């Protein structure tokens, strides 16, 4: 094939040619196009199917990402459906709120212990195969739970063991799942892809519990668990159907050495350090409001279960809108956007905490959900864009530790509620959230000035 005018193909095989292209870029010269070098299109480029989709959904034009999105949509709907049935099962077996707390502890404690190891594995192994394995394990756990409940053999210690198994599975699944997105779309579509992932997650957070409640009333708890197990078929099929090149596996060092390597890498990246702090601290201060909604609905606003459903729905709808905004936004300075979203998150949460009117509380929760999702999705996107692929799984495993900040923050909110009341406690945590955003804007210019 003749080279385009003004460009001369580099000599040697494709690998040599690619290295020559990178060298030109490093020297400040404009890199030659892959067509000019006589190279085939990259794997991601071959995945475009010519779908007529708006620009806000452009990541879905990539076949591999589209498969992952659809599979996760079905599977996450099953997960939220299962969560309702799971908590109902625990309360039915024990009639104890303490066991509800113990089951959640059994699920989240393994995440704090194993997530960093999961990040190492995600960097060593092919992420698609790792995710396939973890989802297959989750499917088996759901089937075991369904069979035990259907046969009447279920005991609370079995439920605790399954909860711990799910926590271990998530510790390995989440770093691989988050890192896989960057393997399926080109860098210019990464922000859109992560935004659409967040949109999908929050949509299932609305759909799943509604289906779960309906299933408990119709086919029973065991039927809900069986259907959740079947929902994993969607994500397993989507992973198997992907067409991506195999990723070279590494593993010459110990797991501990790899964890230290990841920590040392973060220590050399000031921007990344600031982003990771912002990934963890505001979550612990802000997200406990979700658990406290029950207290507000019953004791503050006095609207009962139906009012609780309204408040929860408003926060979820706001989160969907926030994720869609990040997916569609392209020219916003993301540092300022993220920090402004943290401040708005705190201000809206403060307004909700002190509100005596249900309509104003619902409005504030809509803003809370929107700003929370803008902050979290923007943070996750920037982290994925700036981290080296060699350390991606380990860095994302640190981000995933924010899941462990929620129960810690909830425990703090619980003690504060007992001592000072729920409104004063949530208002104080909201004020700390606003202060966090303002301090980061003042003293972290590297994060503030991100494009």
Shared domain for 240 and 287, answered yes or no, is: no
Shared domain for 234 and 373, answered yes or no, is: no
Residue at 147 is within a domain: yes
Q: Give the CATH number, domain containing residue 319.
A: 1.20.1250.20
Shared domain for 363 and 398, answered yes or no, is: yes
Q: Single out the residue in 232, 252, 272 at which a domain terminates.
A: 252
Q: Single out the residue in 252, 284, 306 at which a domain terminates.
A: 252
Residue at 10 is within a domain: no
Shared domain for 275 and 315, answered yes or no, is: yes
Residue at 26 is within a domain: no
* CA 344 to centroid of chain Cα atoms: 21
Q: Which residues contact 381 (CB under 8 A, 6 or more apart)?
A: 190, 191, 194, 195, 326, 334
pTM attached to this predicted model: 0.68
- CA–CA separation, 169 and 107 (whole Å): 10
Please answer whether residues 192 and 56 qualify as being in contact, where contact means their C-beta atoms are separated by less than 8 angstroms.
Answer: yes
- CA–CA separation, 47 and 179 (whole Å): 18
Give residue 434's pLDDT.
93
**Range(s) of the domain holding residue 363:** 264-451
Residue at 290 is within a domain: yes
Averages of pLDDT over each 10 residues, the chain, 451 residues: 41 43 45 42 42 73 89 86 81 74 78 83 83 92 93 90 90 83 82 82 79 81 89 90 68 71 79 81 84 80 76 85 80 81 94 93 93 87 78 77 73 82 91 91 72 67
Residue at 212 is within a domain: yes
Shared domain for 321 and 449, answered yes or no, is: yes
Q: Single out the residue in 226, 252, 278 at which a domain terminates.
A: 252
Report how far apart, in Å, the C-alpha atoms of 204 and of each of 33, 133, 134, 166, 365 are. Answer: 41, 23, 20, 19, 18
Shared domain for 107 and 72, answered yes or no, is: yes
Shared domain for 162 and 137, answered yes or no, is: yes
Residue at 373 is within a domain: yes
Shared domain for 295 and 346, answered yes or no, is: yes
Shared domain for 230 and 126, answered yes or no, is: yes
Residue at 11 is within a domain: no
The β-bridge partners of 48 are 62
Shared domain for 305 and 451, answered yes or no, is: yes
- CA–CA separation, 93 and 148 (whole Å): 13
Give residue 250's pLDDT.
54
Tally of domains in the chain = 2
Shared domain for 368 and 220, answered yes or no, is: no
Give residue 448's pLDDT.
67
Shared domain for 157 and 273, answered yes or no, is: no
Residue at 449 is within a domain: yes
């Amino acid at each position: 094939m003749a080279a385009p005018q003004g460009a001369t193909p580099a000599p040697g095989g494709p690998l040599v040619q690619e290295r020559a292209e990178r060298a030109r870029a490093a020297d400040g010269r404009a890199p030659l196009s892959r067509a000019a070098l006589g190279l085939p299109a990259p794997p991601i480029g071959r995945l475009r199917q010519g779908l007529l989709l708006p620009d806000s959904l452009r990541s879905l034009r990539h076949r591999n990402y589209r498969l992952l999105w659809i599979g996760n949509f079905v599977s996450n709907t099953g997960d939220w459906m299962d969560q309702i049935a799971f908590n109902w099962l625990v309360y039915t077996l024990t009639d104890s709120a303490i066991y509800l707390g113990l089951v959640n502890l059994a699920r989240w404690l393994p995440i704090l212990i194993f997530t960093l190891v999961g990040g190492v594995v995600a960097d060593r192994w092919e992420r698609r195969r790792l995710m396939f394995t973890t989802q297959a394990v989750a499917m088996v756990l759901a089937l075991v739970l369904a069979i035990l409940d259907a046969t009447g053999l279920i005991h609370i210690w079995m439920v605790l063991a399954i909860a711990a198994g799910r926590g271990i599975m998530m510790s390995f699944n989440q770093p691989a799942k988050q890192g896989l997105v960057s393997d399926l779309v080109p860098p210019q579509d990464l922000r859109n892809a992560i935004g659409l992932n967040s949109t999908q997650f929050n949509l299932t957070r609305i759909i799943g519990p509604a289906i779960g409640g309906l299933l408990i009333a119709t086919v029973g708890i065991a039927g809900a668990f069986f259907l959740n197990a079947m929902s994993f078929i969607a994500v397993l099929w989507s992973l198997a159907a992907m067409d991506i090149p195999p990723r070279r596996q590494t593993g010459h060092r110990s797991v501990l050495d790899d964890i230290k390597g990841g920590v040392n890498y973060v220590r050399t990246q000031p921007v990344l350090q600031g982003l990771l702090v912002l990934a963890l601290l505001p979550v612990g201060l802000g997200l406990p409001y979700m658990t406290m909604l029950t207290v507000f609905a019953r004791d503050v606003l006095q609207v009962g279960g139906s009012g609780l459903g309204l408040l929860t729905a408003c926060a979820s709808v706001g989160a969907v809108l926030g994720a869609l905004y990040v997916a569609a936004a392209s020219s916003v300075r993301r540092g300022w956007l993220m920090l402004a979203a943290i401040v708005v998150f705190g201000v809206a949460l403060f307004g909700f905490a002190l509100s005596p009117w249900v309509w104003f509380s619902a409005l504030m929760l809509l803003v809370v959900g929107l700003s929370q999702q803008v902050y979290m999705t923007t943070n996750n996107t920037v982290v994925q864009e700036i981290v080296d692929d060699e350390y991606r799984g380990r860095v994302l495993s640190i981000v995933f530790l924010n899941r462990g900040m929620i129960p810690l923050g909830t425990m703090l909110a619980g003690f504060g509620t007992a001592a000072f009341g729920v409104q004063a406690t949530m208002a104080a945590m909201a004020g700390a959230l606003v202060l966090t955003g303002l301090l980061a804007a003042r003293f972290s210019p590297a994060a503030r000035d991100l494009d």
